[in-house]
Amino acid sequence: MSGAYDDRDGVIWMDGTFVPWREAKVHVLTHALHYASAVFEGERAYSGKIFKSREHSERLLTSCDLLDIPRPYSVDELEAAKSEALERSGLQDAYVRALIFRGSGPDMGVASARNPVCTSIAVWEWGAYYGDAKMNGAKLDISKWKRPSPETIPSKAKASGLYMICTMSKHAAEAKGCSDALMMDYRGYVAEATGANVFFVKDGEVHTPKPDCFLDGITRRTVIDLLKERGVKVIERHIDPAEMEGFEQCWLTGTAAEVTPVGQIGDYTFEVGALTRDIASAYEKLVRGVLQAA
């Protein structure tokens, strides 16, 4: 599938009904467009099955709770809708985007309690998020924007509004020839990339930032489980940026990113080593059902 995302064949699930892809539209005065009152999930299907689908649906509704958005559907209803949307797409390997947002209604200020809550599910074909970087190692910029304090935002929610600084950071990175950007948190510690968590390797041990002000990714937790099954020590802690000079390997994790090796972050370089390749291979086997699901 190629071309603009609003000009494709197929159908999109919207509030209980499948509509032609090109007709899946909202009004310009949709509250979420103006005030970012939206939450979403990005999921991948492999061989016709969405990986950890139920966990994604549960997190989607938790995000609703954190943003004071009424739950429009139950987990079981979302699971059924996603399954049918995937089936109707005709795809076996696909990306699934579920979105819940406040629509247009009587309210058009900051408050929107009287507006309807809308839900959509779209499925499309999407390859490697970082292209060739998945094999050769991504090059990352270091963003000037920081992940904010959890006292200022619902950092455990996968909320649309939290991604604006990510968009700005990735645009700046791409302008420099990089695939993505690494972001620090409000204290100056290493946090995450714009849409993926980060891991480092030193002396056979794995270090990853403590997710106390950013999203604890489903893929992140899956990879931690895979590492522990292999007897690899995983240390979740605050990481000072200067420590990157001493790390030997690095990779990113995320539903879109899967497990992507990193070759460079700013002036720091990393090898695409054996552990990185092993964990990337293990994750690939797990999502395709070759390994027993964690």
Q: For the domain 133-287, what is the CATH code?
A: 3.20.10.10
Return the CATH number of 11-124, one of 3.40.50.2300, 3.30.470.10, 1.20.1270.360, 3.40.50.1100: 3.30.470.10
pLDDT at position 294, please?
A: 36
CA 103 to chain centre: 23
Vertex 116, ends 112 and 120: CA angle to 5°?
120
pLDDT at position 293, please?
A: 40
CB 198 within 8 A of CB 182: yes
Q: How much is the average pLDDT of 157-172?
A: 97
* Tens of pLDDT, residues 277-294: 999 999 999 999 865 443
Considering the candidates 158, 176, 233, 285, report the single residue annotated as catalytic.
158
Per the prediction, the chain carries an average pLDDT of 95
H, E, C per residue of the chain: CCCCCCCCCCEEEECCEEEEHHHCCCCCCCHHHHHCCEEEEEEEEECCEECCHHHHHHHHHHHHHHCCCCCCCCHHHHHHHHHHHHHHHCCCCEEEEEEEEECCCCCCCCCCCCCCEEEEEEEECCCCCCCCHHHHCEEEEEEEEEECCCCCCCCCCCEHHHHHHHHHHHHHHHHCCCCEEEEEECCCCEEEECCCEEEEEECCEEEEECCCCCCCCHHHHHHHHHHHHCCCCEEEECCCHHHHHHCCEEEEEECCCEEEEEEEECCEECCCCHHHHHHHHHHHHHHCCCCCCC
CB 217 within 8 A of CB 197: yes
- Report the C-alpha dihedral over residues 199, 200, 201, 205, rounded to 10 degrees: -60
As beta bridge partners, residue 268 has: 265
Vertex 278, ends 213 and 283: CA angle to 5°?
60
Q: How much is the average pLDDT of 242-246?
A: 98
* Tens of pLDDT, residues 99-156: 999 999 999 999 999 999 999 999 999 888 887 777 789 999 999 999 999 999 999 9
Q: Has 52 been annotated as catalytic? A: no
pLDDT at position 286, please?
A: 97
As beta bridge partners, residue 192 has: 183
In whole angstroms, give the CA distance from residue 130 to residue 147: 22
pTM of the model: 0.94
List the chain domain ranges.
Answer: 11-124, 133-287
